Chain A
Amino acid sequence: MDPLAENPFFILELPPTATAMEIERQGKKLLAKLDLGLATAASYPSPMGARPRSADDVRRAMQALSDPRRRLAAEPFATTPCLDVGPEASTVDGASPIGAVMADVSPVLWWRSC
């Protein structure tokens, strides 16, 4: 498990000081939200940017934090500042950046994936 992108504290959006009861409550709350299909539960902020969150991720995170050894390995990373969006595209005044200009590039090429 990547300690930054898939840290159980980030998945559950809890601080490293969270108690077992808080973890249980937050996990259940997230599982219920995911069951209802709420968009707010579908992703979580991490130091690597926003990442998708599934019910399996939540269950795995709850399981990891119930194991003291795995919790100890995750705790020190859990204070790293998170980004709730992906890295922003750089913009240029007066002209589009090349990535945006060429966003529609694949139909230009002869080739396209299927």
Chain B
Amino acid sequence: MLRLLPLLVLAVVAVRTVQQQSTSTASKRTWTGRSGRWLAVWLLAGPAWLGAFLWLLNQGPNLVATAVLAGTSVLLFPWPIVRRVLVPLGLVRSAWWLTRLADWTWGADPLGGAALAAVLAAGRAPAATSATAGAPLRWWRRQLARPASDLIWARQRLQGLDLLSAGGAMAAALLADIDGDHDSGDALAASLDSFDPQVQPTAAEQLRAERTVWRLMGNTSLDDAERRRRLLALEAHGSSTVALLQAVARRQDGPTRMNRAACIGWWLLAPRKRHTWALLQGTTTLPTSLPTSTVTDPASTAMTAIEDGVTFGGAARRHAELARAPVLAVVDVAWLARAWERALKEATATVRARARVLGVDGADAEGGLHATVHDALVGLVQRLDLSTVDVATLPTALQQAVADVRSQRMDALEIAVAAWRHRLEDGVDRQPVDELREWTGLRHLAAAVARTGDDGAWLANEASQWVVCELAVRLWNVRREHRLANAIFRSLLDDATRVGDTRSAETQKANVACGP
């Protein structure tokens, strides 16, 4: 069995490679920048590795053969060693240097990959303060403790990155998470979609999929059913960890229940088996019933209760139910807004009578109550996606709440655009990663405006497209940051196509054609 180990290792590498290459975007990738050095390394180090292994197997322990085996393993499998050894140990500098050898994995983006490995290792290592707390393995923990300088070092590597690409963008997302700014992390991780597939290594997508699952599991506002739905909708991008979680979720799902053997297979492939053992244990028996989403069927609640007459208390009860729901349907909130309109009208006499008792002007009291209900509706609208909804068809109370939310979001977008325009006019350049952060920040604001109605995307596009385009042109022409500029052009093209702006779409098509 031991003699078959080299073949087994090579088979696993081949399977994982095919698995990574078979993901959707991977097929579009070229071999640019990865084939030459990688092939040379494999042709030279591959036989040496195999020879050393067979020598050790047949002749017993030997110092030279062990050294050759260790050295060639580092050359042949740098990325698996970084992910499975250096990153968990928090060895930031080693992770950076070794990832630079990982041509096969990072291809055209070796520095971005190295920065990502450094940030991963910096985030992975236990912080120095917690590691010093009384523990039996104090010495070992001290060795693993993350000195502040490691994080600063990783930050500097990312900050100094030129020719920013998907690896750098993912590193910036994880760094934002370390800083506790998860919203920025989400926006930066989402920017990976805009990079050209040629400069978007599968490893970056894998890490993004794992980060998405990590965010999903940390989202306490979602119930089990919604978590499972979102988990199954994810593309694993060859991540065995995500695939294992999806297999476990499918095992619990009704119509497409996964075979337990498949769960075990994914468990064998996934790292950190001690931690994932509990997941596998959960699949030993099949559930007899499944949790269902707490979101009510929108159609079942529409209008019926209003016709029966809605009291103020009834509307407040429904409002609380919706505010607690993990996912909101527009039709439910529209129903609620109509219920509030009716309830407020019916409560007028009571409010005025009560106002007289308390010595308050009746109109004032009524206005205060309307404002409170309006604010409560604004809270729900913040969570709604109205990007395909004609706001004019919504009840008046809801229209007013949407207008308020849109106005706040447009203000934020316009302020950001004005600041950006001033900076461009002053000719102030920032580091590529900072430009990426600003761009994703602006995109986040524009996306928020786009969720406030079917004309929201058009409004956001009108407000921001030209200043963003100016920056991208400067990044391309003056600063030679072609990959980031291309990603911005691609995003602008998507936006222009979505809102039907043909003139802008033509311009961006020409810009995208310049390549990354």
Chain A residues in the interface with B (C-beta under 8 A): 2-5, 47-49, 68-77, 79-81, 87, 89-99, 101-102, 104-114
**Which residues from A are CB-within-8-Å of B217?**
99, 102, 105-106
Q: Which B residues are CB-close (under 8 A) to A107?
A: 272, 275
Task: Give Cα A18–Cα B375 distance, bound, in whole angstroms.
Answer: 25
Quick check: A111 and B285 within 8 Å, CB to CB?
Answer: no
Neighbouring B residues of A80 by C-beta, 8 Å:
313, 316-317, 320
Question: What are 18 A-B residue pairs whose CB atoms fall within 8 Å in the complex?
Answer: A4-B319, A47-B320, A48-B320, A68-B359, A69-B360, A69-B364, A73-B369, A76-B316, A92-B288, A95-B287, A98-B228, A98-B231, A105-B245, A108-B272, A108-B275, A110-B241, A111-B120, A111-B174
A73 touching B368 in the complex, CB below 8 Å, given contacts A90-B224, A109-B241, A110-B120? yes
Q: A92-B288, A110-B83 are in contact. List 18 more A-B contacts (CB 8 A).
A: A4-B319, A4-B323, A68-B359, A71-B358, A72-B368, A76-B312, A76-B347, A87-B294, A93-B289, A95-B286, A99-B224, A105-B279, A106-B217, A108-B276, A110-B210, A110-B271, A111-B120, A111-B174
Residue of B nearest to A90 (CB): B291
Q: B364 to chain A: which residues have CB within 8 Å?
A: 69
B338 contacts the other chain (CB 8 A): no
A-B contact count (CB 8 A): 169
CB distance B124 to A112 under 8 Å? yes
Overall SS of chain A's interface: loop
- Asked whether, in the complex, the Cβ of A87 is within 8 Å of the Cβ of B214, the reply is no
A26: shortest Cβ distance to chain B, in Å?
19
Contact between chains at B282 and A101 (CB < 8 Å): yes
| Cα separation A114 to B119 with both chains bound (whole Å) | 12
- Report yes or no: A81 in contact with B214, Cβ–Cβ below 8 A: no
Q: Give the complex CA separation of A110 and B180 in angstroms.
A: 17
Q: Which of A2, A87, A92, A106 contacts B289 (CB 8 A)?
A: A92
Among A47, A99, A106, max chain B CB count under 10 A is at A99
B214 touches A111 (CB 8 A): yes
User: Smallest distance from the beta carbon of B217 to chain A beta carbons, Å?
Assistant: 5
A68 to B362, CA, bound (A): 12
- CB <8 Å contact, B218 and A106: yes
Q: Looking at the assembled complex, report how far the CB atom of A41 sits from the nearest CB atom of chain B, in whole angstroms.
A: 23
In angstroms, how far is the closest chain B Cβ from the Cβ of A93? 5
Q: Which of B88, B223, B231, B316 makes the CB contact (< 8 A) with A4? A: B316
Beta-carbon nearest neighbor of B253 in chain A: A98
Interface pairs A-B: 10 shortest CB-CB: A90-B291, A47-B320, A101-B282, A68-B358, A92-B287, A95-B287, A97-B224, A80-B316, A73-B368, A73-B372
- Do B214 and A106 have beta carbons less than 8 Å apart? yes
Instruction: Give the nearest-CB partner of B213 in chain A.
Output: A109
For the complex, give the distance between the alpha carbons of A111 and B368 in Å. 47
Whether B248 pairs with A101 at a CB distance below 8 angstroms is yes
Cα(A73)–Cα(B288), bound, Å? 47
Q: Could you mark each residue 337-349 of chain B with 1 if its beta carbon is under 8 Å from any beta carbon of chain A, else 0?
A: 0000000000100
On whether the beta carbons of B351 and A111 are closer than 8 Å, the reply is no
Task: Report the separation of the CA atoms of residues A109 and B241 in the bound assembly, to the nearest whole angstrom.
Answer: 7
Q: Out of B227, B312, B324, B355, which one reaches A87, CB within 8 Å? A: B324
